[in-house]
Amino acid sequence: MGSRMNTILQVCFFAISKILPGEEAIEAIRKSIRDTYGRKGEDIVQKNMQAVDETLAHLFEVKVPTELSSTIAMPPPFSLDAPAFERDVLGVMYAGRGDELPVSAFPIDGTFPTGTAKWEKRNLALEIPAWDEKICIQCGKCAMVCPHAVIRMKVYDSKELVGAPATFKSTESRDKEWKGLKYTLQVAPEDCTGCGICVEICPVKNKSEARLKAINMVPQPPLRMPERENWDFFLKLPEHYRRDIKVNTIRQQQIQEPLFEFSGACAGCGETPYLKLMSQLFGDRSVIANATGCSSIYGGNLPTTPWSKNAEGRGPAWSNSLFEDNAEFGLGFRLSIDKQTEFAQELVKRLSAAIGEELATALVTASQKDEAEIYEQRQRVDLLKEKLQGNNSPDARQLLSVADYLVKKSVWIVGGDGWAYDIGYGGLDHVLASGRNVNVLVLDTEVYSNTGGQASKSTPRGAVAKFAAGGKPGCKKDLGLMAMSYGNVYVASVAMGAKDEHTLKAFLEAEAYNGPSLIIAYSHCIAHGINMTTGMSDQKVAVESGQWLLYRYHPERAEQGENPLILDSRTPTRKVKDFMEMETRFKMLTKSSPEHAQQLWREAQQDAESRFRLYEYLAQRKTEKAPV
Amino acid sequence: MIDLSTRYLGLKLRTPLVVSASPLSHDLDNIRRLEEAGASAVVLYSLFEEQLRQERFELEHHLTAGTDSFAEAASFLPQPSEFHVGPEGYLKLIHQAKKAVSIPIIASLNGTTVGGWTQYAQLIQQAGADALECNIYFLATDPDVESADIERQYLEIVEAVKSVVSIPVAVKVSPFFSNMANMAKRFDDAGADALVLFNRFYQPDINLEELEIEPNVLLSTAHELRLPLTWVGILYGRVRANLAATTGVQGPEDAIKLLMAGADVTMLCSTLLRNGIHHLRHIEKGFVKWMEDHEYESVEQMKGSMSQLRCPNPGAFERAQYMKAVKSVQHVVLSSREAWSVLNRQ
């Protein structure tokens, strides 16, 4: 029965409670099995019938002793190392005893500290990945695709290894620029969900035993204690200077600390790796408006949140307002931040004599286009705050309160396709038209995942979803094409499992672009009816068949006289049928309405072909430089 | 007027050229085109019991995975009121094919359980198939299972199927038996109406770049003709069942050789996948021309003329020919070695 327990527990309930006479209840269960599963095949019915018989045969009473003799201690719900508020308020809520807390224990303004998911330590996985440092090529792909940030990499000086636990693994860094440094790939054994995507994506095979890779799933229990120590030691290793990391190449970029970890998303989730990437690149200066949906639930499922902070205490500020208003909500962040920055700059200019002309000019003209420049600006702001100490003028006191706005903030408007294509589209359109500098990230699962798989306008033709049980008759809305028509919106369509370097490039370009940016990120999902372990690598087939296109529309190229659209997908080498056969959301229609499925699949192939031709045409057109 | 007709499974066929089970018959239009190109009968692609079972379990798994774990999503996919997870599609194809063409339609079944074999065989008969070909594809790899047990399994399947249908039953097997002649006799006794020689077991290949074992369906080549040719030649006249020769028929002469060896029909697949359905016309034309040039009047006339029973040198079918064959290869090797030493001396 796998992990399905309902048939078994139902039998237990009726057998024990005796609400109905024994045989009558079991007969009723058998009848309901036949009614429910009959149309799915006799072998499925038999499997369930067998489960009923086996349950009855193996049901026994467990006598609860009057005294405990077990030597196994139950760990506290939140580690005792957690800070007081986390341990005594959040931990109590987490243990299901929140009703015991007084109202005064709660934050008066509704804000909760970040970095709290790490205290949960759910120990969900039967198997966790084990690293083979001897054959690992240190490409960083496993760290990038991990939905829960439980695989991380660090490079560090060998002297940091003093005091390392006995089983802590480390090897020489293979990167030319980090020659002489040590490299470690570490797994968080108690937070891993066992999805196996890391193993699936690893490109290296063991030359003596091809079924093994540089990372392999092994049973968790024997590794739990030693790896717990290793994980704690790993966390204490210093983070490499952000200014020294080449962020445009995955093998280096992935050592950036993720500030999104251990969410409650499904094992193997397709959305979370994109959020984790964003948190690595810009998390220490980002403000996030999150639409309702999977991302708001796993993003802020109180009492904990996976959004976290670095050693300096910096990390994303995150909020979920409603479903339909998310784009405007995020735009409001940008307007407010810009205004405060403007005010801070005004004050700096007014106080330039007090703080020094050079510092004042530098503060106001800093370009802040990369990690190094942002670091320098932060230094300046720290210096500014020092200089303002003891200055009691109203301007100085005002400036102290808004000085942090002199450091560039990254505004992200995040949500799924249910928000972006449907209920929030009006707001999204308004925000894209505003021309303001915001980054919109659409985690496109092509269905309303959180609420059980209802069709959205992003659902592709032929996919089965709720309210489209006969297969979605119409084609998928082309949100990217509509956004491109503004001409001043950066638009990218990405799929991490198909081309990870391309995804990274799009995130960097979106943030760098001083205007509205839209990233539409293909996210595989449990609502697709797929094997989640291969969900990421299966994205390759989606792109190869033309079912999903990869492209970037960059308005700045138009200013140089170049065609702003770059089609990053190659001409499809397979039919969409190859992709659709891999996913139950398409394939099940061939079992419920075979002829209708054939028709829709034919149309889906036409959709993919004509869409590719259109994008090919748009990307190849000759364009002229805009007149000066 | 040359008579190409032949009898197979009690059916009178216009020619001995039959299309064997292949992806060609997935499509009803292709079946029509095969008839137009001259096929005298079509064996449909195989219905796989294990594939149906696997699809049922996979569907059930994906419809229920992750459900009941989150209050807002008690399920992720709608449950249709109807599921066609059995052989309905295949049975419908039989029905449609029978309406669309006038040539016989032979269904092909690849079962795994005895229950599956008999249940599907009955359904196939009800759907209107003219005959049933049992595709017994069983790769024995368990070191603890003895050959006698495997042979018994094959026969049980044939007996079981014969006991539940009244349409003719052909049995398609591989040549990997200790004594193919003994198995043929036992299939005969079990009631098989025809033996289809031979099934090809597909062996996988190794992809060196990806380090994966990959399924690798290779279309048959000309030299694979020799195996059915040999065994049809040996079995002709020794079994009651019809003989269908399959594998390696690339052109008209291959078909003629098989018929002369004793086949009632020859089955084609790879050559049509390679060259197109129309290639069948070309083969038939070549077949007729050869018969005209060599003054043969009918297929019945030539049938079995070169079988072991009737050919001029029957020992050639067995070990005697082995020594002669080896000697002829040595001669080739020696003469080329001589040629090399001559060249090197210069």
Tell me whether residues A210 and B73 touch, CB distance under 8 A: no
Would you say residue A480 lies in a domain? Answer: yes
What gap in Å lies between CA B110 and CA B108, rounded to an integer? 7
Residues B276 and B203 in one domain: yes
The three-point CA angle A213-A187-A258 to 5° equals: 115
Tell me whether residues A588 and B211 touch, CB distance under 8 A: no
Residues A396 and A469 in one domain: no
Residues B241 and B325 in one domain: no
Element (H, E) at B268: strand B265-268
**Beta-carbon contacts below 8 Å between A and B:** 90
DSSP string across B222-258? GGGGHHHHHHHHHHTTT-SSEEEEES---SHHHHHHH
**C-alpha torsion sign, points A463, A465, A470, A475:** negative
Q: Between the CA atoms of A512, A513, A515 and A520, what dihedral angle is there, to the nearest 10 degrees?
A: -90
Tell me whether residues A591 and B211 touch, CB distance under 8 A: no
Q: Are residues A578 and A608 in contact, defined by beta-carbon separation less than 8 angstroms?
A: no
Tell me whether residues A584 and B211 touch, CB distance under 8 A: no
pLDDT of residue A80: 85
Least Cα distance to A3 among A148, A124, A122 occurs for A124
* Boundary residue ending a domain (A358, A379, A406): A406
What gap in Å lies between CA B39 and CA B13, rounded to an integer? 9
Max Cα-Cα span within chain A: 92
Residues on chain B touching A263 (C-beta within 8 angstroms): none
State both tokens at A554. Answer: 């960059």
**A69 C-beta neighbours (distance < 10 Å), count:** 5
Would you say residue A272 lies in a domain? Answer: no
Residues B109 and B169 in one domain: yes
Would you say residue A411 lies in a domain? Answer: no
Provide the angle, in degrees to the nearest 10, between the axes of the packed helices A425-434 and A326-350: 30
Residues A166 and A141 in one domain: yes
pLDDT of residue B80: 80
Question: What is the nearest CA distance from B210 to chain A, expressed in angstroms?
Answer: 9
Question: What is the nearest CA distance from B50 to chain A, expressed in angstroms?
Answer: 12
Residues on chain A touching B80 (C-beta within 8 angstroms): 469, 588, 591-593
Residues A104 and A131 in one domain: no
Residues A101 and A50 in one domain: no
Does residue B112 carry a pLDDT above 70? yes
Least Cα distance to A528 among A242, A266, A353 occurs for A266
Q: What are phi and psi of A150, to 5 degrees?
A: -95, -5
Does any CB of chain B come closer than 8 Å to the CB of residue A2? Answer: yes
What gap in Å lies between CA A1 and CA A9, rounded to an integer? 12
HEC per residue, A48-113: HHHHHHHHHHHCCCCCCCCCCCCCCCCCCCCCCCCCHHHHHHHHHHHCCCHHHCCHHHCCCCCCCC
The three-point CA angle B173-B175-B180 to 5° equals: 95
pLDDT of residue B323: 67
* Boundary residue ending a domain (A256, A280, A311): A256
Chain A's closest residue to B86, CA to CA, is A41
Least trusted range by pLDDT, from A56-60, B203-207, B266-270? B203-207
Does any CB of chain A come closer than 8 Å to the CB of residue B211? Answer: yes
Q: Are residues B196 and B263 in contact, defined by beta-carbon separation less than 8 angstroms?
A: no
Tell me whether residues A585 and B77 touch, CB distance under 8 A: yes
Residues A598 and A551 in one domain: yes
Provide the angle, in degrees to the nearest 10, between the axes of the packed helices A326-350 and A357-365: 160
Cis ω before A303 (30° cut-off from 0): yes
Would you say residue B1 lies in a domain? Answer: no
Q: Are residues B300 and B13 in contact, defined by beta-carbon separation less than 8 angstroms?
A: no
Q: Are residues A77 and A121 in contact, defined by beta-carbon separation less than 8 angstroms?
A: no
Residues on chain A touching B60 (C-beta within 8 angstroms): 37, 40-41, 44
Residues B176 and B133 in one domain: yes
Residues A205 and A97 in one domain: no
Does any CB of chain B come closer than 8 Å to the CB of residue A584? Answer: yes
Residues B114 and B256 in one domain: yes
Residues A344 and A490 in one domain: no
Q: Which of the residues B62, B81, B91, B119 would you substitute to probe the A interface, choosing the one with the greatest number of A C-beta atoms within 10 Å? A: B62
Residues on chain B touching A39 (C-beta within 8 angstroms): 81-83
Does residue B154 carry a pLDDT above 70? yes
Residues A134 and A106 in one domain: no
What gap in Å lies between CA A50 and CA A57, rounded to an integer? 10
Q: Which residue has the higher pLDDT, B343 or A488?
A: A488
Amino acid at B225: L
Q: Work out the pLDDT band at B344, boundaries 50, 70, 90.
A: low
Provide the angle, in degrees to the nearest 10, between the axes of the packed helices A22-37 and A42-58: 150
Element (H, E) at A217: strand A215-219
N-to-C CA span, chain A = 69
Alpha helices in A164-223 (DSSP H): 197-201
pLDDT of residue B243: 97
pLDDT of residue A580: 97
Q: Kindly report, residue by residue over A191-230, the tens digit of the pLDDT.
A: 999 999 999 999 999 999 999 999 999 999 999 999 999 9
A414 bridge partner residues = A290, A441
Residues B237 and B339 in one domain: no
Strand A490-494 with A551-553, pairing:
antiparallel
Average pLDDT per consecutive 10 residues, chain A (628 residues; last block may be shorter): 83 92 91 90 91 93 91 85 93 94 94 94 95 98 98 97 97 96 98 97 96 97 97 97 94 98 96 98 97 96 94 96 97 98 97 95 95 95 95 95 97 98 98 98 97 96 95 97 97 98 98 97 97 95 98 95 96 97 95 92 98 97 75
**C-alpha torsion sign, points B290, B291, B293, B294:** positive
What is the 3-state composition of chain B as percent helix, strand, coil, each rounded to the nearest 5?
50, 15, 35
Of A297, A451, A584, the CB nearest to B77: A584
Would you say residue B73 lies in a domain? Answer: yes
**B49 C-beta neighbours (distance < 10 Å), count:** 19
Would you say residue B26 lies in a domain? Answer: yes
The CATH code of the domain that includes B129 is 3.20.20.70
3-state secondary structure of B156: helix
Residues A395 and A469 in one domain: no
Amino acid at B336: S
pLDDT of residue A622: 85
Does any CB of chain A come closer than 8 Å to the CB of residue B95? Answer: no
Tell me whether residues A39 and B55 touch, CB distance under 8 A: no
Residues B221 and B337 in one domain: no
Q: Kindly report, residue by residue over B159-195, the tens digit of the pLDDT.
A: 999 999 999 999 999 998 999 999 999 999 999 999 9
Would you say residue A324 lies in a domain? Answer: no
What gap in Å lies between CA A561 and CA A119, rounded to an integer? 53
Question: What is the nearest CA distance from A292 to chain B, expressed in angstroms?
Answer: 13
Would you say residue A312 lies in a domain? Answer: no
Does any CB of chain B come closer than 8 Å to the CB of residue A450? Answer: yes
State both tokens at A193. Answer: 């969900």
Strand A551-553 with A565-567, pairing:
antiparallel
Residues B286 and B335 in one domain: no
Does any CB of chain A come closer than 8 Å to the CB of residue B57? Answer: yes
Q: pTM for this one? A: 0.92
Residues B210 and B328 in one domain: no
pLDDT of residue A447: 97
Residues B34 and B58 in one domain: yes
Q: Are residues A416 and A444 in contact, defined by beta-carbon separation less than 8 angstroms?
A: yes
Would you say residue A309 lies in a domain? Answer: no
DSSP string across A506-564? HHHHHHHSSS-EEEEEE---GGG---GGGTTTTHHHHHHTTSS--EEE-HHHHHTTS-S
Residues on chain B touching A591 (C-beta within 8 angstroms): 55, 59, 80, 83-85
Residues A93 and A126 in one domain: no
Average pLDDT over chain B, rounded to an integer: 90
Question: What is the nearest CA distance from A591 to chain B, expressed in angstroms?
Answer: 5
pLDDT of residue B248: 86
What gap in Å lies between CA B344 and CA B233, rounded to an integer? 46
Residues B335 and B302 in one domain: no
Does any CB of chain B come closer than 8 Å to the CB of residue A213? Answer: no
The CATH code of the domain that includes A505 is 3.40.50.970
Does any CB of chain B come closer than 8 Å to the CB of residue A526? Answer: yes
Residues A487 and A615 in one domain: yes
Tell me whether residues A592 and B89 touch, CB distance under 8 A: no
Residues A126 and A106 in one domain: no
Q: Kindly report, residue by residue over B6-20, the tens digit of the pLDDT.
A: 999 999 999 999 999
Does residue B342 carry a pLDDT above 80? no
Residues B188 and B84 in one domain: yes
Does any CB of chain B come closer than 8 Å to the CB of residue A6? Answer: yes
Q: Give the residue carrying structure tokens 């500290």.
A: A113
What gap in Å lies between CA A615 and CA B2, rounded to an integer? 60
What gap in Å lies between CA A461 and CA A451, rounded to an integer? 20
The contacts of residue A359 (CB under 8 Å, 6+ apart) are A380, A383, A384, A387
DSSP string across B287-329? HHHHHHHTT--BHHHHTTTTSTTTSS-GGGGSHHHHHHHHHHH
Tell me whether residues A41 and B85 touch, CB distance under 8 A: yes
Please state the domain count of chain A.
5
Does any CB of chain A come closer than 8 Å to the CB of residue B77? Answer: yes
What gap in Å lies between CA B158 and CA B188, rounded to an integer? 10
Tell me whether residues B76 and A592 touch, CB distance under 8 A: no
Would you say residue A76 lies in a domain? Answer: no
Domain holding B329, by residue range, is 312-346
pLDDT of residue A624: 73
Would you say residue B344 lies in a domain? Answer: yes
Max Cα-Cα span within chain B: 90
Q: Kindly report, residue by residue over B32-48, the tens digit of the pLDDT.
A: 999 999 999 999 999 99
The CATH code of the domain that includes A200 is 3.30.70.20
Tell me whether residues A452 and B86 touch, CB distance under 8 A: no
Tell me whether residues B63 and A464 touch, CB distance under 8 A: no
Question: What is the nearest CA distance from B61 to chain A, expressed in angstroms?
Answer: 9
| Cα-based distances in Å from B126 to A576, B92, B105, B119, B168 | 36, 11, 13, 11, 13
Tell me whether residues B73 and A453 touch, CB distance under 8 A: yes
Domain holding A10, by residue range, is 6-58
Would you say residue B181 lies in a domain? Answer: yes
Please state the domain count of chain B.
2
Q: Are residues A457 and A520 in contact, defined by beta-carbon separation less than 8 angstroms?
A: no
